[in-house]
Amino acid sequence: MAEPSFFEDRPTEECGVFGIYAPGLDVARLSFFALFALQHRGQESAGIATSDGVVAYSHKGMGLVSQVFTEENLSPLVGHLAVGHTRYSTTGSSHIRNAQPYLIETLDGPLGVAFNGNLTNALELRNQLLQRGVGLMTTTDTELIVQLLASPPGATPQQTARPNGNGRGSDPWVARIRRLMEVIDGAYSLALLTRHAIYAVRDTHGLRPLCLGRLAEGYAIASESCALNTIGGKYVREIEPGEILRIDSQGLTSSEGLPPKKKALCSFEFVYFARPDSMLDGQVVHTVRQEMGRKLAEEAPAEADVVVAVPDSSVPAAIGYGQQMGLPYSEGLTKNRYIGRTFIQPDNHLRQQGVRLKFNALGSNLRGKRVVLVDDSIVRGNTSGPIVQLIREAGATEVHLRISSPPVRHPCFMGVDMATYKELIAHKLDVPAICERIGADSLDYLSLEGMLEAIRATTGLHDAHCTACFSGNYPLDIPSWLFDSDQAKMMLGQVWGT
């Protein structure tokens, strides 16, 4: 797995996936701008695969979307359908061979796969494939999915229905996808490209987000609706848990891959991952975050003069906190939005500057004031203390830290690089001890009930979200060895070569 960023104390976004069916439009260019909108979900690599109904094309590379694509490498990506991907590695090392989409040739034509999630039975699947004589070239769950789709378990090529000339007739891909869903466990949102169609596929709990949008000419699917808006699309709906949605010349064809289970969309999407302008569960994320801030103020009021946020993701919650308390919200920290995106690591001298590389305090808004500092989460606890110190040095007389999510006490095995038990500060220390470590005048978190109530009040959905990293209640069966970080590292190291 990738090293945690020096600049961040956040779980790391998983990946962004995108797919488009739009005859007559430049689908590669639209995919580029959609991936640009999904950049926050992964900055290690990016890629696009297209199909013109005969041949499939692809380009991918390491780095940001804007670094990977140029006019020269985008223009050969012709066709009327495409899938795209931005990647952060949850399994598999940071290497070009792990970049997505994967594009291979199968008996039924080209197959492109863009995947967001994590397979909890990857070890078992890997061994099964190797025993069947399938050679694997990479260290990712995505390659397992590609191979399982290319050769469905138990199926021989003769058993696989053949498509007719326009790709309709009996659809071999729905059957293949269903058989894939029967053998993989875990969290997944998939955008698949075949010769004539794109497919959106979501796990039976709907753990990772995936939505459908309408374009003037066609449809698109994306991890977040902000990607649809960027290219002039309109949000239509979420892909349902367990659904397989085919998009082609006939329009939309929905079928059940597996019966849906209890819905469990990742609640951390609302807390931090998703862009505030994205729509999740039918609600704009900014609205949900603001409600979390209001609930936090109800549960943990502080005597103060001003509310400031750790930018950017905590701003809506800080606004909500201020509104509920009747306190002014003000900018207290300015963030360099690009520092976390650099691959150049600071040297020792710069390391001593710590969070100053990323944040600068606005003294004029803080001097002589009692400050409520709102942050969305604390994971390892390595940056909160220096940020509180920065606010004090800028002249604040008191700093009361308020966190708009519950303490993160458990790792994530559903596609988020959350940190291990050993690294999670709230697993090791109680709230008063964390407050002392951070050096704040007071510290309070939003309760689990408060967070779920904020989600319910804004989306209308109750008991439909994963809270495992807060509560320890996992919506999936997690193999016991994954809970032991040393054993997991050893197993992952052997298998995934990290």
User: Applying CB under 6 A, which residues contact ligand SF4?
Assistant: 11, 207, 266-268, 412, 414, 416, 418, 466-469
Which CB sits closer to ligand SF4, 399 or 492?
Answer: 492
Q: What are 87's two structure tokens? A: 């990647």
Q: Reply yes or no on whether 15 is catalytic.
A: yes
Q: What is the DSSP letter of 481?
A: G
- Which of 226/379 has CB closer to ligand SF4? 379
Active-site residue identified among 15, 226, 412, 435 = 15
Of the candidates 449, 439, 19, 470, which has an alpha carbon nearest to the alpha carbon of residue 227? 19
Q: How far is the CB of 163 from ligand SF4 (least distance, A)?
A: 36
Return the C-alpha torsion angle 100, 104, 108, 113, nearest 10.
Answer: -10
Q: Say which residues have a Cβ less than 8 Å from residue 135's Cβ, sequence separation at least 6.
A: none
Query: How many Cβ atoms sit within 10 Å of the Cβ of residue 387?
Result: 25
Q: What is the DSSP letter of 340?
A: G
Rounded to a whole number of angstroms, the minimum distance from the CB of residue 466 to ligand SF4 is 3
Q: Smallest distance from the beta carbon of 23 to ligand SF4, in angstroms? A: 36
CB 403 within 8 A of CB 444: yes
How many CA atoms, within 13 angstroms, populate the side-chain half-sphere of residue 457? 15
Closer residue to ligand SF4 (CB): 196 or 205: 205
The answer to whether the beta carbons of residues 28 and 60 sit under 8 Å apart is no
Residue 482 C-beta: closest distance to ligand SF4, Å: 12
Instruction: Please give the C-alpha separations between residue 318 and each of 2, 312, 323, 456, in angstroms, as whole numbers.
Output: 31, 10, 9, 19
Give burial (CB, 10 Å; 0-12/13-18/19+) of 105: exposed
CB of 336 to ligand SF4, least distance (A): 26
CB nearer ligand SF4, residue 51 or residue 90: 90
What is the rounded distance in angstroms from the CA atom of residue 152 to the CA atom of residue 146?
10
In the bound state with ligand SF4, the residue whose beta carbon lies nearer, of 109 and 407, is 407
Tell me the C-alpha distance between 24 and 416, whole Å: 37
| Contact residues for 480 (Cβ-Cβ < 8 A; gap 6+) | none
Q: Report the distance separating Cα 491 and Cα 486, nearest Å.
A: 9
Residue 367 or 422 having the CB closest to ligand SF4:
422
Residue 42 φ then ψ, to 5°: 175, 130
**DSSP 3-state assignment of 81?**
strand
Q: What angle do CA 410, 414, 421 make, to 5 degrees?
A: 20
- Residue holding tokens 């604390």? 378
Of the two residues 149 and 296, which places its CB atom closer to ligand SF4 in the complex?
296
Nearer to ligand SF4, 20 or 122 (CB): 122
Q: Are 417 and 11 in contact (CB under 8 A)?
A: yes
Q: Tokens representing 197?
A: 């169609």
Shortest approach of ligand SF4 to residue 11 CB, angstroms? 6
Q: The tokens 């290319």 sit on which residue?
A: 150
Nearest distance, CB of residue 242 and ligand SF4, angstroms:
17
In angstroms, give the least distance from the CB of 265 to ligand SF4: 8
Report, as residue numbers or ranges, the catalytic residues.
15
